[in-house]
Amino acid sequence: MSESKIITDALGSDPMTLEENAGFGGKYLIAALDKAVDMQTSVIEGYVNWLRKQNPKANPAEIQVLIDKHFMRLATGSGAGVGVAAAVPGIGFVTGALAVGAESLVFLDAAAFYTMASAHLRGIDINHSERRRALVLVVLLGASGTAIVDATVGDISKPSKVPGIAISRLRVGNLVEVNSRLLKFGLNRIGKQFRKAWIGKILPLGIGAVMGTLANRKMAKKTIGNAYDSLGPVPSSF
């Protein structure tokens, strides 16, 4: 999809209408964003500080790798668990589908926490609720999210002007506008991603367990790559 198409699709967004019309995956995205907003900063800081205490000689890049691994393990573990649940005799298609829905929320919760921890490691401000929403959405959407932020705040193509840094400097009024556009595009994009993963996870005879792991691994790797691109490099030292 071209950058102009992405921007056009994201314009004229009404948050209330978007939430009312959110389809499969959309409501889970909104719920994950709400949890990210309500998450105490001290919890995120405590997690990063715990990693540093457990690895006193590690530099920021090495701590980021540990955060990546924790996120990947959680994502692939939950995916396989749902695949196994859907394959249990008697659980049925509907029960399996409901399990996939709950697991989708777990994945998005983990992705939101991963984004906050990665942003904090880089010294990006995560205290304001709208800033948190923007960071999570940009990481989940990748290049598409960058295009929307770019259209709102100006050219961020230079290496020093990555989306995460631009978001950390935006005023609240601008953040609300950015988030409205990001959410409109995100509801459609992320809904499609979860629909594809959902189909594979409910396959019978244990195939769903394998597909669940593969689907979540793919989404987790994409999220990690987006975080590196959207949040910028970690500092060289603490």
Higher pLDDT, 197 or 137: 137
Q: Which two tokens stand for residue 45?
A: 């800081």
pLDDT at 88: 46
Q: Which whole-number Å values give the CA distances from 231 to 71, 98, 146, 163, 227, in the listed order? A: 16, 33, 11, 6, 6
The CA radius of gyration of the chain, in Å to the nearest whole number, is: 18
What pLDDT, on a 0 to 100 scale, did the predictor assign at position 32? 67
Which has the minimum average pLDDT: 50-64, 91-105, 131-145, 160-174? 91-105
Q: Is the pLDDT of residue 19 over 60?
A: no
Mean pLDDT of 151-169: 68
**Percent of the chain whose predicted confidence (pLDDT) is above 70:** 61
pLDDT at 203 over 70: no
C-beta separation of 73 from 216 below 8 A: no
Instruction: Give the list of residues 6+ apart from residue 236 with CB closer than 8 angstroms, or none.
Output: 59, 60, 61
pLDDT of residue 123: 92
C-alpha to C-alpha distance for 24 and 38, rounded to whole angstroms: 23
Residue 96 has pLDDT above 80, yes or no: no
Token readout for 35 is: 């949890």
Taking the C-alpha atoms of residue 186 and residue 137, their distance in angstroms, rounded to an integer, is 7
Q: In terms of Cα–Cα distance, which of 151, 169, 152 is closest to 160? A: 169
Phi-psi region of 122 (alpha: psi -120 to 50; beta: other; left: phi over 0): alpha
24: left (phi over 0), alpha (psi -120 to 50) or beta: beta
Segment 185-207 shows an average pLDDT of 59
Contact 66, 57 (CB under 8 A): no
Q: Residue 234: pLDDT above 80?
A: yes
| pTM for the whole structure | 0.72
CB 201 within 8 A of CB 100: yes
In this prediction, residue 164 has a pLDDT band, given cuts at 50, 70 and 90, of: confident
89: pLDDT confidence band, cut at 50, 70 and 90? very low
Task: Using the predicted structure, report yes or no on whether residue 205 has a pLDDT greater than 70.
Answer: no
In which band, very low, low, confident or very high, does the pLDDT at 120 lie, cut at 50, 70 and 90? very high
